[in-house]
Structure 1
């Protein structure tokens, strides 16, 4: 238990003392004692200190200066003022008493014969003894947790021990979900009314928050208090330890247990995170080997499939998210990419249960076992993306999504190349926020399979380039004209122009580029060139 002002004035040395003001502040915690020699208390005063004084330093203060001084005393958190009347100061001014009552600062008058040294010695001796007891208690709890670590405790074991030591129910929340782990699950349903950050105490190293809450399981009762502390951890998960105080006071001993518990929980969470990362790295290596064909035999490939919980008979589609470049810069951006992967995984899980994912160089790669046809598969991916539209991180991040054709396990490297090539094609065209399947590409698959993605513009014939320089509208008209079997009326209908205008534009394009509309070989090259030009534009 902490030393309070009430405890202090019950010492024998204060037998003939008198409480003048600040009765409501007797439960203030005492952390030290100091003799006031000068009124600049803001430079040397500390929270919890008792001030010994004769008020000689304040004898010439005006009423305004007195108010200012006691406001500082209150702001600093001075526990109490002990005053001894000396030869030069015979009376405590009324405005001093008023200010002490105003701020609930205990003002204690002691006889002239009482020595400062005796008071200081008694207070400091008591504090030292209490501090030693607290430190011994901290050490004992630390030893208990050290022994517990050998048994590899689960989070529930740790909070059960905390509950036993402090006599209050405890919850461990994960990502602001209170029901993760609790000594009494009925207390995990509550509404927060008010939140206050508590000042740090001498032996606390974490930031504590006091919450006033209304519990669903307790009807028609006044709001209850909680003590909440963040448990530092690695990764994207956040943890909070919640003490259901029910307006009970947390003793110094309870804080010792709590500090030890947070330390121990942090170490356990870091250990578990390290093990998860080790496992994840191994999984990532296996997925990478699978999609790049980096295995030495068919048996090794089948072992990888089995480890990833796939079967040899499964058919697979690779879905790759290409995240815009700025996510590749720092560790913070890597965490954002991880968050996007987790969000998208939830959508995939709605439709398919067998899948794995890999974050690699700004891309998020999913291997999905499925029996869907290509159209249905793309529709479900699109539906998943739409369901994430309201989530700011996923919605605001520029990205492309590629979908490979369906392949067997041995052709996964082929599917991986397809998905990557689609993304290269989209980047080449400067396109973002697209969902494109390999089946959608049509004629562009020729370029992908021939490895000519980076040379697309070389497939545009010179005569088409020439038309583009003179009047791009002529190329658009020419493409529609060729797509509609060289029918002027159909071309005019599509472009919302008169058939004579369509005929004029085609004649102009033929004249500029010296096109032979009866030559099938030339028309094939022009058709390809016009499509490449349209894509690049």
Structure 2
């Protein structure tokens, strides 16, 4: 059907056009200064070209602009049509107003580009037999799509089809959002906390995300962006906000628990358009993440898994519950961290610290969700004096006992509160020896407490301390400092005396040799030298110290000397032992 100029619509108009008016809730106007008809959609020009009957149109220019968003369609043939262009709008025209004035067509094209229009559709055959080459050139320069519309279809046919297709697309997207909401609700109803929380949330939403803790430390990131880029502008206001534009947009949500902010989540979109319902879905996901990041709030609810486990473990350590009672509670709540080889970490903060609760919660976030800790299944429990974390160690391959401690140290060093904000320092973690049976849990907890107590006596301020570091000292803790000084001086004087010129690399090699429990491979790895170099240095040191490192007695003497020296360094008891 031939398309008349817009000025004739108000007089009679076709019955199909009247039906289109009703279906699309739009109107056509005879006033040339009005904006004509408009429907609102969320398609790209490329998607629109797949929809019948617009699929019969030809994309004749501006091919690089096919990803422009098509949000509305207007039919305009007035000379001043450009004054009414909106963002995302595609103009359909018979070229009536510009058939003899190419400058009007060029001006219209430039106005479309300036206002972010979607493109220009021209029905050729009535007023233009062919689209002028100058218009092609300008469209290609501006990347504005020009469509040669099929002559046999009316504008209303094409608009109706676009609206129906967009409605179908939106309906499908709403159904998908509803399905995602259902999955989030199902996940939220699960009581067990899991380190896979963030990958699960990201998978349900279908977008990459980054999650930050209370002090800006990165807990999770499956985007392609670096930590520095993700943290740009931190600290952020505690309000939802969009960042970026187009395909580079992200939605930033604070993780609010009442008036307290437990962290922040950024969701990165790979699509230029998002429904309001999907934004509401992001808020729902943020609430679930907040719930898991702030479990201390849930302790007030007797029905919560966290509270029940805290009570069971506290009762067991206080001899109020039997081991059988504890295991029954663990089975009920699907606690599996004790089912293999495990280690315990007890985290404490001074009771007088003004941010004690915040620091304990932040440490829990790191230990549970940090990417470095994802190799370990874990359980985290709030006890009266601190946070007890139980880590199940991997069993697939030989696992060196220092691997866990090294990973734990690297995880804690990434905390903003520990590394970037000295005012929040105060976290200390005490690590037990490796255990292989659930029955040894009480021993592991006791080792953590003994490590804490020994560190207080030794005035050791380390963030992380292993039980094995103070185990021998507990046997000799009642020795006087004078006796320790005399013993350490007698053994280590050949390498630490100011009167002896000893290569510092030799001394460092010996220190690392004992730090890594006599492992030449680990020592060489730390020093970035060949293991034969380590062996050569140890032979040279054995001559200097008049010892045989193959004899247990000599190794034990050196171990005690280094232990006493470490104690004296932390106490600053003697000038020669200061760091």
- TM range, normalised to the smaller chain? 0.3 to 0.5
Superposition TM-score, scaled by structure 1 size: 0.41
Structure with higher Rg: it is: 1
